């Protein structure tokens, strides 16, 4: 069972955080599934990931529904991680089941701290996840850089 990491986005977009964290996960040999709730928002995220960083930081990824979904190092979609992901990134209010959390090395919950509905939803997710006994960390970029603000051990 891995750790659920909440990323309270105050200054950056999900694409910014993913272009930092996903290469680290890939470096560990873990594939990533980015689960959203809206296909058009995932399409915009896909476009943003293609534009981030240029050739030096290319993030190999694809949108769910293609012929090579199972081969994608980073797969963006609405469904389950058919690419053998060990990291599940949740964006736009997407959620994960207890079984999915237990099967992952990491679960990243990326939420817009400027959106009160998303903030409240993330607080609810934190409570549900920690009550279920999953290890969790809360990270905020409020100060301009990422800082760990809270941690709950697996129980």
Which pLDDT tens digit goes with each residue over 89-101? 999 999 999 999 9
Let me know: does 112 contact 17? Beta carbons within 8 Å: no
Percent of the chain with pLDDT over 90: 85
Give the pLDDT confidence score for residue 50 in this predicted structure: 84
SS3 content of the chain, % helix, strand, coil (to 5): 35, 25, 40
pTM for the structure as a whole: 0.94
Largest CA distance in the chain: 43
The residue among 117 and 154 whose pLDDT is bigger is 117
- Nearest by Cα to 19 from 108, 84, 92: 108
Give the pLDDT confidence score for residue 59 in this predicted structure: 85
Give the pLDDT confidence score for residue 2 in this predicted structure: 86
Give the pLDDT confidence score for residue 57 in this predicted structure: 65
Neighbours of 131 (CB within 10 A): 10
3-152: CATH number: 3.40.50.10110
The mean pLDDT of 122-142, rounded to a whole number, is 95
87-90: strand order across its sheet: 62-63, 74-77, 32-35, 87-90, 106-112, 3-9, 135-140, 147-152
Phi, psi of 120 (to 5 degrees): -65, -40
Q: In whole numbers, what is the pLDDT of the chain averaged over residues?
A: 93
pLDDT, tens only, 27-80:
999 999 999 999 999 999 999 988 775 556 678 899 999 899 999 999 999 999
Residue with tokens 């905020």: 140
Let me know: does 38 contact 7? Beta carbons within 8 Å: no
- Judged on CB neighbours under 10 Å (0-12, 13-18, 19+), 104 is buried
Give the pLDDT confidence score for residue 95 in this predicted structure: 95
CA pair distance 16, 9, nearest whole angstrom:
10
């Amino acid at each position: 069972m891995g750790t659920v990491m909440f990323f309270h986005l105050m200054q950056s977009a999900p694409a910014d955080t993913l272009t930092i964290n996903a290469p680290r996960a890939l470096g560990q040999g873990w594939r990533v599934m980015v689960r959203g709730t809206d296909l058009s928002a995932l399409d915009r995220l896909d476009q943003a990931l293609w534009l981030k960083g240029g050739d030096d930081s290319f993030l190999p990824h694809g949108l769910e529904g293609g012929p090579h979904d199972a081969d994608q190092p980073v797969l963006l979609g609405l469904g389950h991680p058919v690419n053998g992901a060990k990291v599940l990134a949740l964006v736009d209010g997407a959620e994960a089941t207890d079984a999915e959390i237990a099967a992952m090395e990491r679960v990243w919950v990326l939420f817009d701290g400027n959106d009160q509905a998303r903030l409240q939803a993330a607080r609810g997710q934190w409570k549900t996840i920690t009550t279920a006994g999953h290890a969790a960390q809360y990270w905020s970029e409020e100060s301009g850089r990422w800082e760990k603000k809270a941690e709950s051990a697996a129980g």
